[in-house]
Amino acid sequence: MVVIGVDIGSVATKGILISDGVQHKTIFPTGWSPRDASDAVIAQLLHQSGIEGQRVTRIFGTGYGRVAFDQADKTVTEIKCHARGIAELLPEVRTIIDIGGQDSKVIRIGERGQVVDFSMNDKCAAGTGRFLQVMATALGLDVSELGAAEDPAQRLPISSMCTVFAESEIIGLMAKGNPKGGIVAGLHQSVGKRVAAMAKRLGIKEPIAFTGGVAINQGVKRALEEELGAPVMVSEACQYTGALGAALLALENV
Protein backbone atom coordinates (compact mmCIF):
# COMPACT_ATOMS: atom_id res chain seq x y z
CA MET A 1 0.00 0.00 0.00
CA VAL A 2 1.16 3.54 -0.74
CA VAL A 3 0.11 6.38 1.56
CA ILE A 4 1.12 10.03 1.96
CA GLY A 5 1.03 12.31 4.98
CA VAL A 6 1.37 16.06 4.47
CA ASP A 7 1.90 18.53 7.32
CA ILE A 8 1.19 22.08 6.16
CA GLY A 9 2.79 24.36 8.71
CA SER A 10 2.81 28.14 8.71
CA VAL A 11 6.46 28.18 7.61
CA ALA A 12 7.16 24.80 5.95
CA THR A 13 5.15 22.04 4.34
CA LYS A 14 6.47 18.57 5.06
CA GLY A 15 5.52 15.34 3.30
CA ILE A 16 6.17 11.66 3.87
CA LEU A 17 5.27 8.89 1.45
CA ILE A 18 5.26 5.32 2.74
CA SER A 19 5.43 2.55 0.16
CA ASP A 20 5.63 -1.02 1.51
CA GLY A 21 7.42 0.15 4.63
CA VAL A 22 9.89 2.42 2.81
CA GLN A 23 9.69 6.13 3.68
CA HIS A 24 10.35 9.06 1.34
CA LYS A 25 10.31 12.59 2.69
CA THR A 26 10.47 16.13 1.42
CA ILE A 27 10.01 19.69 2.64
CA PHE A 28 8.97 22.94 0.90
CA PRO A 29 8.46 26.46 2.21
CA THR A 30 4.71 27.05 2.63
CA GLY A 31 4.94 30.59 1.25
CA TRP A 32 1.68 32.33 0.49
CA SER A 33 -0.28 29.35 -0.71
CA PRO A 34 -0.69 26.23 1.43
CA ARG A 35 -2.43 24.61 -1.53
CA ASP A 36 0.48 25.16 -3.93
CA ALA A 37 2.97 24.01 -1.30
CA SER A 38 1.09 20.78 -0.66
CA ASP A 39 0.73 20.14 -4.40
CA ALA A 40 4.48 20.63 -4.78
CA VAL A 41 5.23 18.30 -1.89
CA ILE A 42 3.06 15.54 -3.32
CA ALA A 43 4.58 15.93 -6.81
CA GLN A 44 8.07 15.80 -5.35
CA LEU A 45 7.30 12.70 -3.24
CA LEU A 46 5.94 10.89 -6.30
CA HIS A 47 8.95 11.94 -8.34
CA GLN A 48 11.43 10.90 -5.62
CA SER A 49 9.86 7.49 -5.10
CA GLY A 50 9.12 6.86 -8.76
CA ILE A 51 5.55 5.95 -7.84
CA GLU A 52 2.59 6.89 -10.02
CA GLY A 53 -0.14 9.00 -8.50
CA GLN A 54 -2.83 6.37 -9.11
CA ARG A 55 -1.04 3.93 -6.82
CA VAL A 56 -1.51 6.18 -3.79
CA THR A 57 -4.25 4.66 -1.60
CA ARG A 58 -4.76 7.51 0.83
CA ILE A 59 -3.51 11.01 1.59
CA PHE A 60 -3.95 12.48 5.08
CA GLY A 61 -3.35 16.17 5.75
CA THR A 62 -2.49 17.99 8.95
CA GLY A 63 -1.11 21.34 10.11
CA TYR A 64 -2.72 24.76 10.09
CA GLY A 65 -3.08 24.71 6.28
CA ARG A 66 -5.04 21.44 6.24
CA VAL A 67 -8.34 23.26 5.77
CA ALA A 68 -7.27 24.37 2.28
CA PHE A 69 -5.82 20.97 1.38
CA ASP A 70 -8.32 19.59 -1.11
CA GLN A 71 -6.26 16.57 -2.19
CA ALA A 72 -6.54 15.05 1.28
CA ASP A 73 -8.84 12.07 1.88
CA LYS A 74 -8.99 13.14 5.49
CA THR A 75 -7.53 15.83 7.70
CA VAL A 76 -6.36 15.26 11.25
CA THR A 77 -5.07 17.79 13.78
CA GLU A 78 -1.33 18.18 14.22
CA ILE A 79 -1.76 17.20 17.88
CA LYS A 80 -2.92 13.70 17.03
CA CYS A 81 -0.31 13.42 14.24
CA HIS A 82 2.57 14.44 16.48
CA ALA A 83 1.48 11.89 19.05
CA ARG A 84 1.31 9.15 16.41
CA GLY A 85 4.61 10.23 14.83
CA ILE A 86 6.49 10.20 18.12
CA ALA A 87 5.06 6.82 19.07
CA GLU A 88 6.93 5.58 15.97
CA LEU A 89 10.16 7.60 16.32
CA LEU A 90 10.62 7.53 20.10
CA PRO A 91 8.07 5.04 21.50
CA GLU A 92 9.07 5.50 25.16
CA VAL A 93 8.17 9.22 25.12
CA ARG A 94 5.22 10.36 27.29
CA THR A 95 5.34 14.14 26.78
CA ILE A 96 5.85 16.01 23.51
CA ILE A 97 6.82 19.63 23.29
CA ASP A 98 6.15 20.89 19.79
CA ILE A 99 7.23 24.37 18.80
CA GLY A 100 6.16 25.35 15.35
CA GLY A 101 6.05 28.54 13.34
CA GLN A 102 2.98 30.05 14.91
CA ASP A 103 2.10 28.00 17.94
CA SER A 104 3.58 25.81 20.61
CA LYS A 105 1.96 22.75 22.12
CA VAL A 106 2.52 20.34 24.93
CA ILE A 107 1.02 16.90 24.36
CA ARG A 108 0.87 14.11 26.91
CA ILE A 109 0.61 10.69 25.31
CA GLY A 110 -0.25 7.22 26.51
CA GLU A 111 1.37 3.89 25.81
CA ARG A 112 -0.21 3.42 22.40
CA GLY A 113 0.58 6.93 21.23
CA GLN A 114 -2.91 8.19 22.08
CA VAL A 115 -3.36 11.80 23.21
CA VAL A 116 -4.09 11.93 26.95
CA ASP A 117 -4.12 15.71 27.34
CA PHE A 118 -2.67 18.71 25.58
CA SER A 119 -2.30 22.43 25.82
CA MET A 120 -1.63 25.11 23.25
CA ASN A 121 -0.58 28.74 23.53
CA ASP A 122 -3.35 31.33 23.36
CA LYS A 123 -3.33 33.89 20.58
CA CYS A 124 0.13 35.30 21.11
CA ALA A 125 3.46 34.75 19.34
CA ALA A 126 5.54 34.49 22.54
CA GLY A 127 7.21 31.09 22.81
CA THR A 128 6.82 30.22 19.13
CA GLY A 129 8.98 30.06 16.03
CA ARG A 130 7.46 33.37 15.01
CA PHE A 131 9.02 35.00 18.08
CA LEU A 132 12.46 33.70 17.10
CA GLN A 133 11.94 34.76 13.49
CA VAL A 134 11.22 38.36 14.51
CA MET A 135 14.20 38.44 16.87
CA ALA A 136 16.56 36.90 14.28
CA THR A 137 15.59 39.64 11.82
CA ALA A 138 16.26 42.31 14.44
CA LEU A 139 19.68 40.77 15.06
CA GLY A 140 20.50 40.59 11.34
CA LEU A 141 20.57 36.78 11.39
CA ASP A 142 18.70 34.07 9.59
CA VAL A 143 16.51 32.04 11.92
CA SER A 144 18.48 28.90 11.01
CA GLU A 145 21.66 30.53 12.33
CA LEU A 146 20.32 31.18 15.83
CA GLY A 147 21.25 27.76 17.29
CA ALA A 148 24.91 28.09 16.41
CA ALA A 149 25.07 31.80 17.27
CA GLU A 150 24.24 31.50 20.98
CA ASP A 151 26.81 31.87 23.71
CA PRO A 152 25.22 30.59 26.95
CA ALA A 153 28.23 31.70 29.04
CA GLN A 154 27.45 35.35 28.26
CA ARG A 155 23.65 34.95 28.46
CA LEU A 156 21.70 38.18 28.93
CA PRO A 157 18.23 38.03 30.44
CA ILE A 158 15.41 39.10 28.12
CA SER A 159 12.61 40.15 30.43
CA SER A 160 9.84 40.84 27.91
CA MET A 161 7.69 37.87 26.96
CA CYS A 162 5.78 39.90 24.41
CA THR A 163 7.25 39.75 20.90
CA VAL A 164 6.77 43.46 20.30
CA PHE A 165 8.45 44.52 23.55
CA ALA A 166 11.20 41.89 23.31
CA GLU A 167 12.14 43.22 19.89
CA SER A 168 12.76 46.72 21.19
CA GLU A 169 14.49 45.25 24.24
CA ILE A 170 17.10 43.43 22.12
CA ILE A 171 17.58 46.44 19.88
CA GLY A 172 18.39 48.33 23.09
CA LEU A 173 20.79 45.59 24.22
CA MET A 174 22.61 45.67 20.87
CA ALA A 175 22.86 49.45 20.97
CA LYS A 176 24.69 49.12 24.29
CA GLY A 177 27.24 46.90 22.57
CA ASN A 178 26.26 43.61 24.21
CA PRO A 179 27.51 40.45 22.47
CA LYS A 180 25.07 38.92 19.99
CA GLY A 181 25.74 35.41 21.29
CA GLY A 182 24.62 36.45 24.76
CA ILE A 183 21.43 38.06 23.43
CA VAL A 184 20.60 34.96 21.39
CA ALA A 185 21.11 32.74 24.45
CA GLY A 186 18.73 35.02 26.34
CA LEU A 187 16.12 34.71 23.60
CA HIS A 188 16.34 30.94 23.68
CA GLN A 189 15.92 31.03 27.43
CA SER A 190 12.83 33.19 27.04
CA VAL A 191 11.21 30.67 24.68
CA GLY A 192 12.29 27.79 26.93
CA LYS A 193 10.84 29.47 30.00
CA ARG A 194 7.53 30.25 28.38
CA VAL A 195 7.00 26.77 26.96
CA ALA A 196 8.30 25.02 30.10
CA ALA A 197 5.73 26.95 32.16
CA MET A 198 2.98 25.72 29.85
CA ALA A 199 4.32 22.15 30.13
CA LYS A 200 4.49 22.29 33.93
CA ARG A 201 0.94 23.56 34.09
CA LEU A 202 -0.24 20.60 32.04
CA GLY A 203 1.96 18.19 34.01
CA ILE A 204 5.05 16.52 32.61
CA LYS A 205 5.72 12.84 32.40
CA GLU A 206 9.19 11.82 31.24
CA PRO A 207 10.71 10.99 28.83
CA ILE A 208 10.13 14.21 26.91
CA ALA A 209 10.52 14.70 23.16
CA PHE A 210 10.92 18.03 21.39
CA THR A 211 9.40 18.25 17.89
CA GLY A 212 8.63 20.81 15.20
CA GLY A 213 10.88 23.08 13.19
CA VAL A 214 12.25 24.90 16.24
CA ALA A 215 13.58 21.57 17.63
CA ILE A 216 16.47 21.84 15.15
CA ASN A 217 17.68 24.79 17.20
CA GLN A 218 20.13 23.36 19.77
CA GLY A 219 19.91 26.51 21.87
CA VAL A 220 16.17 26.17 22.48
CA LYS A 221 16.71 22.49 23.35
CA ARG A 222 19.36 23.49 25.88
CA ALA A 223 17.11 26.18 27.37
CA LEU A 224 14.16 23.81 27.59
CA GLU A 225 16.25 21.20 29.42
CA GLU A 226 17.43 23.82 31.89
CA GLU A 227 13.95 25.17 32.51
CA LEU A 228 12.32 21.75 32.76
CA GLY A 229 15.18 20.25 34.76
CA ALA A 230 14.92 17.15 32.59
CA PRO A 231 16.55 15.81 29.45
CA VAL A 232 14.74 16.41 26.17
CA MET A 233 15.01 14.03 23.23
CA VAL A 234 15.13 15.30 19.67
CA SER A 235 14.66 12.88 16.81
CA GLU A 236 16.64 13.47 13.62
CA ALA A 237 13.30 13.59 11.85
CA CYS A 238 11.87 16.08 14.38
CA GLN A 239 10.56 18.37 11.67
CA TYR A 240 8.72 15.49 10.00
CA THR A 241 6.95 14.17 13.11
CA GLY A 242 3.56 15.52 12.07
CA ALA A 243 3.84 14.35 8.45
CA LEU A 244 4.97 10.91 9.62
CA GLY A 245 2.04 10.71 12.01
CA ALA A 246 -0.36 11.67 9.21
CA ALA A 247 1.16 9.01 6.91
CA LEU A 248 0.92 6.33 9.60
CA LEU A 249 -2.68 7.26 10.37
CA ALA A 250 -3.39 7.05 6.64
CA LEU A 251 -1.78 3.59 6.60
CA GLU A 252 -3.97 2.50 9.50
CA ASN A 253 -6.90 4.41 8.05
CA VAL A 254 -8.00 5.88 11.36
Partner 1 sequence: MADYQQMWTDLGMDLEKHDVLCEVLPEAFGGVYLTQQNRPKGMDFYDFVVSEIHGVRPAEMIQHQKEGGKVFGTFCVYVPDEVVFAAGGIAAGLCGGSQFWVSGGEKVLPANTCPLIKASVGARLDKTCPFFLIPDMYVGETTCDGKKKAWEILAGEVPFHIIDIPQMKRDRDIAAFEAEIKDFIAVVEKVTGNKITAESLGEAIKLINNKRRALQRVYNARKASPVPISGKDALLVTQINFYDDPARAAEMANNLADELEQRINSGSGVFPDNALRIMISGTPMAIPNWKLHHIVESLGAAVVVEESCTGTRYFENLVDESATTLDGQIRALAERYMKTNCACFTPNTARIDDIVRLADEYKVDGIIDTNLQFCNIYSTESYQVKQALTERNQPIMHIETDYSEQDFEQLRTRVEAFLEMLRK
Give the total residue count for the chain.
Answer: 254
| Strands, sheet with 232-233, edge to edge from the N-terminal-most edge strand | 115-120, 104-109, 95-99, 208-211, 232-233
Whole-angstrom distance, CA of residue 92 vs CA of residue 231:
13
- If the CB atoms of residues 78 and 150 are measured against partner 1, the closer one turns out to be 78
- Taking the complex as a whole, the smallest distance from the CB of residue 47 to partner 1 amounts, in Å, to 30
- Taking the complex as a whole, the smallest distance from the CB of residue 145 to partner 1 amounts, in Å, to 28
- Taking the complex as a whole, the smallest distance from the CB of residue 149 to partner 1 amounts, in Å, to 30
Q: Which residues bind partner 1 (CB under 8 A)?
A: 64, 67, 76-80, 103, 114-118, 120, 122-123
Contact 91, 76 (CB under 8 A): no
- If the CB atoms of residues 48 and 114 are measured against partner 1, the closer one turns out to be 114
- If the CB atoms of residues 110 and 172 are measured against partner 1, the closer one turns out to be 110
- Taking the complex as a whole, the smallest distance from the CB of residue 36 to partner 1 amounts, in Å, to 19
- If the CB atoms of residues 4 and 79 are measured against partner 1, the closer one turns out to be 79
- Taking the complex as a whole, the smallest distance from the CB of residue 79 to partner 1 amounts, in Å, to 4
Exposed/middle/buried for residue 139 (C-beta within 10 Å: 0-12, 13-18, 19+): buried
Per the DSSP assignment, residues forming a β-bridge with 25 are 16
- If the CB atoms of residues 82 and 188 are measured against partner 1, the closer one turns out to be 82
Whole-angstrom distance, CA of residue 198 vs CA of residue 224:
12
**Distance of CA 70 to CAs 34, 39, 48, 67, Å?**
10, 10, 22, 8
- If the CB atoms of residues 125 and 156 are measured against partner 1, the closer one turns out to be 125
Per the DSSP assignment, residues forming a β-bridge with 26 are 15
- Taking the complex as a whole, the smallest distance from the CB of residue 222 to partner 1 amounts, in Å, to 28
Q: What are the helix (H) ranges across 111-179?
A: 129-138, 146-149, 163-175
